[in-house]
Amino acid sequence: MRVYNFSAGPAVLPEEVLKEAADEMLDYRGTGMSVMEMSHRSKAYDDIIKEAEKDIRDLMNIPDNYKVLFLQGGASQFFAEVPMNLMKNKKAAYIITGQWAKKAWQEAQIFAGDGAVAVASSADKTFSYIPDCSDLPIPEDADYVYICENNTIYGTKYKTLPNTKGHILVSDVSSCFLSEPVDVTKYGVIYGGVQKNVGPAGVVIAIIREDLITDDVLPGTPTLLKWKTQADNDSLYNTPPCYNIYICGKVFKWIKKMGGLEAMKAHNEKKAKILYDYLDQSKLFKGTVRPEDRSLMNVPFVTGNADLDAKFVKEAKAAGFENLKGHRTVGGMRASIYNAMPIEGVEKLVEFMKKFEAENA
């Protein structure tokens, strides 16, 4: 039996995508083999990766002067790739809104030391809000401004992009990827690990403006981590995570079938509203994020009592609601309600929460 999986990542995938992949597992479209067994240089695989790129370009309306790269190493490796490929002055401005932005900043400090500066932070209130980014002290010679747009652990989301004062914006969108329309032209680099909202772990999709892809990288940058190496070889310089990219391609088709990113946004807003509306009137459960900064994807909440939190997680699991325990750094609970979480999953969770509240309040 399928459970309602509220995991923050690897996370729920559309059931019809999983079924389709199962049907093609032993014989992909008459090739007599699985995509798992296929050469990445084969015609069949070349069609898969090219079609995946075409579909994400359509979905996100990606302009021709941006490259789409399918990479390995997770967003955590990409934290290092950003300074390696973009630092010319060894200066960068980081906005610290949670653990992943902080880790990216720490990675940049390896290359730039004090030149990687934190220009704003919401650490003072456990990252429960997005700081005002309208007038930040960005160094004039900063190579870029870096944000993590949706914070998986703390459940915050930028509703307005920072004023970068003319500098390149780099954004990690791992946990809000393809959840709503974005204007790609506002970014120099927009990237994310796919294991939250797009596919199985093992792929990072990076959308990079072409003028930022050059041979002028930090000395010592490995060949494989140069964006130019990957761009010149259409993400096939070495063997890519073939099967995972194939699944991402199926998810792109599923999103198109669902009506594209506008439809996804409406679907996600509807789901999130059900849960937030309940949290706002509950006497037992409380949301932890400032309302105007709430994420549509990750919803953290607490009872205020650690024992009661643990009881809730245990009883929820027994009732078929998986992975509701909050991140180890914050405790409490977190419901990740990505694109593939059906609306009835959220409705049933709220029903269960109401019942738990009646029994434990």
Residues carrying an active site annotation: 100, 172, 196
List C-alpha distances in Å: 92 to 109, 211, 262: 9, 18, 33
Tell me how far apart the alpha carbons of residues 55 and 66 are, in angstroms, rounded to a whole number. 14
**What size, in residues, is the chain?**
361
In whole angstroms, give the CA distance from residue 237 to residue 219. 20
For residue 182, what are the CA distances in angstroms to 169, 224, 257, 296, 314? 14, 28, 19, 14, 38
Residue corresponding to tokens 């997770």 = 74
113: helix, coil or strand? helix
How many CB atoms are closer than 10 A to CB 1?
Answer: 3
Q: Which amino acid is at 314?
A: K
The span from the CA of 63 to the CA of 82, in Å, is 21
If you search the block for the tokens 């934290």, which residue do you land on?
79
Retrieve residue 69's tokens: 């790269």
Give the span between the Cα atoms of 327 and 226, in whole angstroms: 33
| Residue listed under structure tokens 């180890």 | 328
Q: How far is CA 164 from CA 103, 161, 167, 251, 267, in A?
A: 20, 9, 5, 32, 31
State the helix-helix crossing angle for 260-281 and 343-360, rounded to 10 degrees: 10
How far apart are the C-alpha atoms of 46 and 39, rounded to whole Å?
9
Amino acid at 2: R
Q: Which residues pair with 299 in a beta bridge?
A: 335
CB atoms within 10 A of CB 323: 21
> Which residues partner with 121 through β-bridges?
96
